[in-house]
Every structure is written in C-alpha cells, then in structure tokens.
C-alpha cells in the first residue's frame, strides 16, 4: 500500500518523472515563468527552490549538484550568475503558483509557476518583545484585582445575609 508516501507519481515511471521535473525546473530558471498544470507545478516547486538555494550557495559542489539535476550547463550558468543573486537576501519562498483556470481541451486546472520578482524586505521582529513584558505586568496586577473581587463578594454576601435576617418572613423569630 502507498500510505503516507511523499510526492506525486503523475502517471509516469520514475525516470520519466525525474526528466519531467528536471525539464520544468530548467524552463522555470531559464524563462522565469512557465505555464503547466497545478499538480505538476506543486510537484516541481520544491525542487526548483532547492536549485535556487544551491545557486545561492555558489560553491563548486553546489554547481555540480545543480548540473546533475538540471543536465544543462547553460541553465546552471544562468542560475548561478543571474537568478540566484536576485534572491541573496530572501530566506526561501523563491517561487509562486498562480492558478489561471481550466485548460480548454481537457479542463485540467492550469497555473503559472513563476519566480518571485519583488524585492524582499526583512521585517524586524523586535516589535513583539514588549508584549510579553506587558503581559507579565498584567499578570502581576490581575491577582490583586481578583483578591479585591473576592473581598467584595464576601462583603456583598455578608450584606445580603444581614438583609435576610431583618426580613419579617422568618419563622425562627417570634413576633
């Protein structure tokens, strides 16, 4: 059984599938955007992002690994010289899938798999540090408020008990 096995078979044997992924990833690197089915785009997206990560590393071993997968020295050169420097500051998320509707012939769901082209802006996370300190201060003040509330409720119950004693409807008191 095929329980929890990763990846899609796409109706191909392993060699055909590997060649498909290689060709799609190479076309994406070469052209910047490819039009394919949603399933193929989802299958090749992590592999294409892995190739861009190899390009960001830029060393000889990474270049040889990319050549092994992409099988085209021209595509690998473009990856390392042009594409990878665009993403030097971006920590992943180099591609996106944009759905474009069904294909007219067989109604297969189509999508663009494209490289993200806008500049990555690192967001500072320091804005979150004051919140835990404020939460600790609130936690320190909450028990005081709770104790005040319990004292008030005790006082209220005493007052209501006093009011109940004065009522003329009690059978214990003689009239």
DSSP line for 134-155: HHHHHHHHHHHHHHHHHHHHHH
Name the DSSP letter for residue 122: P
Q: Which CATH number fits domain 14-115: 3.90.1030.10, 3.90.1150.10, 3.30.413.10, 3.30.420.40?
A: 3.90.1030.10
* Greatest Cα-to-Cα distance within the chain, rounded to the nearest angstrom: 110
> What tens-digit pLDDT sequence spans the chain (175 residues)?
868 778 889 999 999 999 999 999 999 999 999 999 999 999 999 999 999 999 999 999 999 999 999 999 999 999 999 999 999 999 999 999 999 999 999 999 999 999 998 777 777 666 555 555 555 666 666 655 555 555 555 555 555 555 555 555 555 655 5
Residue 35's beta-bridge partner residues?
Answer: 112
Angle, helix 38-57 to helix 14-31, in steps of 10 degrees: 70
């Amino acid at each position: 059984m095929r329980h929890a096995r990763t990846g899609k078979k796409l109706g191909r044997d392993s060699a055909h599938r590997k060649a498909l992924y290689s060709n799609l990833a190479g076309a994406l690197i070469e052209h910047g955007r490819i039009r394919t089915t949603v399933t193929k785009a989802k299958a090749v997206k992590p592999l294409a992002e892995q190739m861009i990560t190899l390009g960001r590393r830029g060393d000889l071993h990474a270049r040889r690994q990319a050549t092994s997968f992409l099988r085209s020295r021209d595509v690998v050169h473009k990856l390392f010289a042009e594409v990878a420097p665009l993403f030097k500051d971006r920590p992943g998320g180099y591609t996106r899938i944009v759905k474009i509707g069904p294909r007219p012939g067989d109604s297969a769901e189509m999508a663009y798999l494209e490289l993200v082209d806008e500049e990555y802006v690192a967001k500072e996370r320091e804005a979150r540090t004051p919140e835990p300190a404020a939460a600790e201060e609130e936690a320190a003040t909450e028990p005081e408020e709770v104790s005040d509330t319990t004292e008030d409720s005790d006082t209220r119950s005493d007052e209501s008990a006093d009011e109940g004693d004065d009522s003329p409807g009690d059978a214990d008191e003689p009239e």
